[in-house]
Chain A
Amino acid sequence: MNEREIFASVVAILTPFVKAPDALSSCSAETTILGDLKVNSARLVDVMLEMEERFGIQVSDDEVDGLRTVGDAVQLVMTKTSPSALA
């Protein structure tokens, strides 16, 4: 998957948990997950678990805590699904 496809998948995973639909419609890599999209911290755990399933990756607790933006989530997936990470 390329970056654009991963971004679309991450947004699709986030969508059911978003409490600020207006922010979702203008979502970019800089959009903050908890602040702009108003996903709460419990639902962020659900998002990460769904990302693990969707992309076949493992995300550590520290990595979850470090996520601020949609772009952070996309980069995390790209890093963990890169050929070097999978080797």
Chain B
Amino acid sequence: MVVGNDIVDLALMRERPEHPAFAERVCSEAELGVLYASRDRARALWSLFAAKEAAYKALSKLHSVRFVPRAFCVDAAFTTVQQAGDQLTLRLFHGASFVHASVFDGASPLWDFARRDSACASDAVRVLARCLAGRYLHEEPGAFSVVRDRALGAWDGYGPPRLLLRGRPVGLDVSLSHHGRYVACAVERRSGSERDLLVSS
């Protein structure tokens, strides 16, 4: 079971609007229909994009997948994301000035967001991840760490984040996101079994 999440700071996107051809480049025909019928087109557009990016983060943990936004198809009700043979459940949360997408293939994940203020985004999102994992497993947040392994060909040279509990792998999948003033994180158990949670995965 995997989870992906993405948060978009709508105020930041309003500061510099997207290219006029952006929507046509990233959306399917059906998605464009939804977009043009929306009363809040910017929120609809960034909801679609966040869903696509979250799905990419989740699916890239399962197999090799390219981030071609148009190939990640969000249904008109914003409840699923489909890419090739994979379909994931989508949950959107609309804040006053942000939109958050969680995408998953099992039970609904635990997720949270925070304002990062002046903190480094990378540090702030890891603090949030440790707190969230602590809530999930009833452990102290300080018992967790977040690591990323070197991965040749990855966009920044590193693979997806992994959670460690007291230095050992734990059966929770984690997804990190930060944009503008916000950081967000989602966690979901990798397996359906309670017993597997604390076993190295």
Contacts and interface: CB of A to CB of B under 8 A. Distances in A.
B179 A50 contact: no
A45 B18 CA distance: 9
Contacts, number: 45
Contacts of A46: 18-19, 22
Contact of A41 (B13, B67, B70, B71): B67
- Interface size class on chain A is 10 to 19
A62 B65 CA distance: 11
Contacts of B49: 42
Contacts of B155: 32, 34-35, 68
Given A16-B16, A46-B22, A65 B68 contact: yes
Top 8 A-B pairs, shortest CB-CB distance: A35-B156, A61-B68, A49-B19, A65-B66, A34-B155, A46-B19, A49-B21, A65-B67
Interface of B: 8, 13, 16, 18-19, 21-22, 25-26, 49, 53, 66-71, 155-157, 179
5 contacts: A32-B157, A42-B8, A45-B18, A49-B21, A61-B69
